[in-house]
Amino acid sequence: MLDRQKVTIQDIADKANVSPSTVSRVLSGNARVVESKQTAVLEAIRELNYRPNIFARGLASGQSMTIGVLTQNISSPIYDAIMWGILQNLKGSGYSPVFADGYWSQEAEKNALHILLDRHADGLIVIGGSSPKEVLIETAKRVPLVVVGREIPEISENCLKMDDFQGGYLATQHLIERGHRQIVNITGILSHDDAVERLEGYKKALKEAGLAVDDQLIVEGGFNEQSGVMAINILMERGRAFSAIFAANDQMAFGARLALYRKGIRVPDDVSIIGYDNQPTSAYMTPPLTTIDQPAVELGEAASFNILQLIKGQAIEKTTFPAKIVMRESVSRLR
Amino acid sequence: MLDRQKVTIQDIADKANVSPSTVSRVLSGNARVVESKQTAVLEAIRELNYRPNIFARGLASGQSMTIGVLTQNISSPIYDAIMWGILQNLKGSGYSPVFADGYWSQEAEKNALHILLDRHADGLIVIGGSSPKEVLIETAKRVPLVVVGREIPEISENCLKMDDFQGGYLATQHLIERGHRQIVNITGILSHDDAVERLEGYKKALKEAGLAVDDQLIVEGGFNEQSGVMAINILMERGRAFSAIFAANDQMAFGARLALYRKGIRVPDDVSIIGYDNQPTSAYMTPPLTTIDQPAVELGEAASFNILQLIKGQAIEKTTFPAKIVMRESVSRLR
DNA sequence: TATTGTTTTGAAAGCGCTTTCAAAATACCT
DNA sequence: AGGTATTTTGAAAGCGCTTTCAAAACAATA
């Protein structure tokens, strides 16, 4: 194997007895090259183990052949699924992903956006995050952009979102159907749109069933386990009776389940729980957690499909991604 | 805000009445520039909102000012902690991270490595993974390399690892100390070094306490929840009695805990469990899981510290990262 | 003041590729 | 066969920066 750094397009040209232009043409494939030279070039490339210099390419062509992906806190399983979907669809497109992480901090996110832009990403996928929408709207003017998990009216066509409202509705409805009447909702952070929508879905299901929405049964959580624990404590203090809990994500469901365990309240015998997200661990909670599954992989696939379309200047499709319920063992029928 | 793409170093030079060379000098800071021009240039840069073209820079300088990070399946909390550590330390170094994901597949990993190399990363951090060690040894010859989570004798100075042996030892010892004698070990994938070492630690603790190593109490798992479930089933079939389980990671502990629940065996009353990794969810298992904590963030910090040193051609330090036990409620004293 | 030494600066070459443009080669007509 | 239309090719001009090198400016010395 020869030095990867040193072999240039000129070397290939020499070896194949053609000009650099011709080599470039077989590399990019957007101009005809006579068969014999084509193979000679390919042969030379393989023999010398040539890899094009990405900087020279970027500089000359103005394209980076990368898609910037702005993520938040990569560790969340749901984001991971989205990323997986994105990667799947990017394969073989010629584009490769470049990541930058916002870590849910506006400062870091701004920084990450700059990094991506500086790297001349040909397209941008922004997953969630807390960037002011003005920033995103501005960004969308400069570069093809797909926003995942947020809905921004001004650039609605660029946004891809799960149906959180429907998910909240579904979860609550399931509980009602199982005979529950006093249903707690541990919400997400209510400054996040998705959290609000899940809450709205919850309310709708209640109303539709002729049940009153009782503020005393609603507690705002923080999308993490600890806030699930706290929510139960708050609920106990309030003293309002309840037989089921809808937590706006699985992590809070976990916390709630633990808090219940601590108080000697059995799940699902005494209290039922339904979560949201269907993260991998949830299937192994004790008892396995009934939850709402989001088509995260599909969402990711759609995101990269769309960004590719956008780059090509073609039309994009705005699909909706319906949530569905995954029944396991944390919900019982109330008699 | 002016177009980011269009402003070049020449524009700055014109505006500040200097030559491009001078602008370049104040940008890089590695040559004196008289105060007045310095400020004029800085001023021009701000006014025109200039951002250097990263391709031109890379092409001219041969440096990318990036550190390639080859990860596996980003979603695992432990990897996330390592990454966090890496990022922390990279801040302000002038280098920014570029990620590529191996998804625990050799094929994908090879690909990812190529991407990173093609992008001319000035240094590489490889986290775990299943690349043949020859590949890594070769790579180390071309570019500064730090391998995290694997020990490769030939390039030992470049490797950073947690002390898995000690962790396995610690976990088992704790169980013994609490009076357990028949201790199960659900191991990790035994083709992974860390899994083997945890197992060895387990054996050592047993021997030290004068207990026999019973093969019937050892089950190979797959580092995921499902294999924890299966392990319990296998154990039940084998019919060997046990009072405690050491699972080589928390996910398998979860699976085991669920399987036990299914069989009506209580934790920790009937059987104690200790995990490994201290992933965030584990604190919220029912009961909260006693486990082994690894200094993942510190590991990550050390990794980026070392890669930076390597790039500068300076000496690196090879620290060891001791595991420690986190006692929660899944282990009981056996009377 | 003349001379030498030291900074500070700009001109210009080049990093490795893409892409335009015109020349060369080939194909297709009549 | 001669001419035209078409395809294939190479020369050469950049892309925007860094970096060498020598000239210009300034300081220091005799």
The CB-side HSE value for A325 (13 A sphere, CA atoms) comes to 18
User: Computed over its alpha carbons, how large is the radius of gyration of chain B?
Assistant: 26
Cβ of A286 within 8 Å of Cβ of B261? The answer is yes
Angle between helices A35-48 and A9-16 (to 10 degrees): 130
| Confidence (pLDDT) at B5 | 57
Provide the mean pLDDT of chain B: 93
Task: Give, in Å, how far the C1' of C21 lies from the CA of A36.
Answer: 24
- Residues close to nucleic acid strand C (C-beta < 7 A): A 5-6, 8-10, 20-21, 23-25, 27-28, 30, 50, 52-53, 56-57, 59-61; B 17-22, 25, 31-34, 37, 56, 59-60
**Chain D, protein-covered positions (CB within 7 A):** 7-12, 14-20
pLDDT tier at A31, thresholds 50, 70, 90: confident
How many other C-beta atoms lie within 10 A of the C-beta of residue B62?
12
How many other C-beta atoms lie within 10 A of the C-beta of residue B230?
19
| Pairs from B130-134 (Cβ < 8 Å, separation ≥ 24) | B130/B102, B130/B104, B130/B105, B130/B106, B131/B102, B131/B106, B132/B106
DSSP A79-122: HHHHHHHHHHHHTTSS-EEEEEE-TT-HHHHHHHHHHHHHTT-S
| Confidence (pLDDT) at B2 | 39
| Confidence (pLDDT) at B74 | 55
| Confidence (pLDDT) at B317 | 86
Domain A66-162+296-321: which topology?
Rossmann fold (3.40.50)
- With respect to CATH, is domain B9-52 assigned 1.10.260.40? yes
- Across the A:B interface, residue pairs with CB atoms under 8 Å apart total 112
Looking at residue B281, the DSSP 8-state letter turns out to be: G
| Residue B63 tokens, joined | 């440096």
pLDDT tier at B3, thresholds 50, 70, 90: very low
Residues in B closer than 8 angstroms to A57, CB to CB, are 55
DSSP B170-194: HHHHHHHHTT--SEEEEE--TTSHH
Cβ of B258 within 8 Å of Cβ of A286? The answer is yes
pLDDT digits (tens, 9 = 90+) for A202-223: 999 999 999 999 999 999 999 9
User: What is the rounded CA–CA span in Å between residue B35 and residue B31?
Assistant: 12
Give me the residue label for tokens 């201790």. B183
| Residue B233 tokens, joined | 């089933």
Q: Which tops the pLDDT comparison, B197 or B129?
A: B197
pLDDT digits (tens, 9 = 90+) for B259-271: 999 999 999 999 9
Q: Please determine whether the domains at A9-52 and A66-162+296-321 fall in the same fold group of CATH.
A: no
Cβ of B281 within 8 Å of Cβ of A251? The answer is yes
| Residue B226 tokens, joined | 């499902």
Cβ of B75 within 8 Å of Cβ of A73? The answer is no
User: What is the rounded CA–CA span in Å between residue B175 and residue A109?
Assistant: 44
Cβ of B284 within 8 Å of Cβ of A77? The answer is no
3-state secondary structure labels for all residues of B133-157: HHHHHHHHHHCCEEEECCCCHHHHH
Residues in A closer than 8 angstroms to B284, CB to CB, are 225, 228-229, 251, 254-255, 257-258
Q: What is the CATH number of domain A164-293?
A: 3.40.50.2300
Q: Which tops the pLDDT comparison, A5 or B296?
A: B296
Predicted ipTM? 0.86
Write down the domain spans for chain A: 9-52, 66-162+296-321, 164-293
- Say whether B72 sits in a helix, a strand or coil: coil
pLDDT digits (tens, 9 = 90+) for A35-67: 999 999 999 999 999 999 999 999 999 999 999
| Confidence (pLDDT) at B220 | 98
Tally of helices (H runs) and strands (E runs) in chain A = 12, 11
Minimal Cα distance from B253: which residue of A?
Answer: A284
Provide the mean pLDDT of chain A: 93
B228 inside 8 A of chain A by CB: yes
pLDDT digits (tens, 9 = 90+) for B97-121: 998 888 778 888 998 999 999 999 9
Task: Give, in Å, how far the C1' of C6 lies from the CA of B36.
Answer: 19
Overall residue count recorded for chain B in this entry = 335
Q: Which of residues 264-283 of A touch B (CB under 8 A)?
A: 280-281, 283
Task: Give, in Å, how far the C1' of C5 lies from the CA of B308.
Answer: 38
Residues in A closer than 8 angstroms to B287, CB to CB, are 261
Give me the residue label for tokens 């041969």. B62
How many other C-beta atoms lie within 10 A of the C-beta of residue A141?
8
B76 inside 8 A of chain A by CB: yes
pLDDT digits (tens, 9 = 90+) for B46-87: 999 999 999 999 999 999 999 999 988 756 678 888 888 998
| Confidence (pLDDT) at A92 | 82
- Judged against a pLDDT cut of 60, whether residue A103 lies above it is answered with yes
Going from the C-alpha of A250 to that of each of A90, A233, A253, B49, B129, the distances in angstroms are: 29, 18, 5, 44, 29
| Confidence (pLDDT) at A2 | 39
The H-assigned helical ranges of B49-105 are 54-61, 77-90
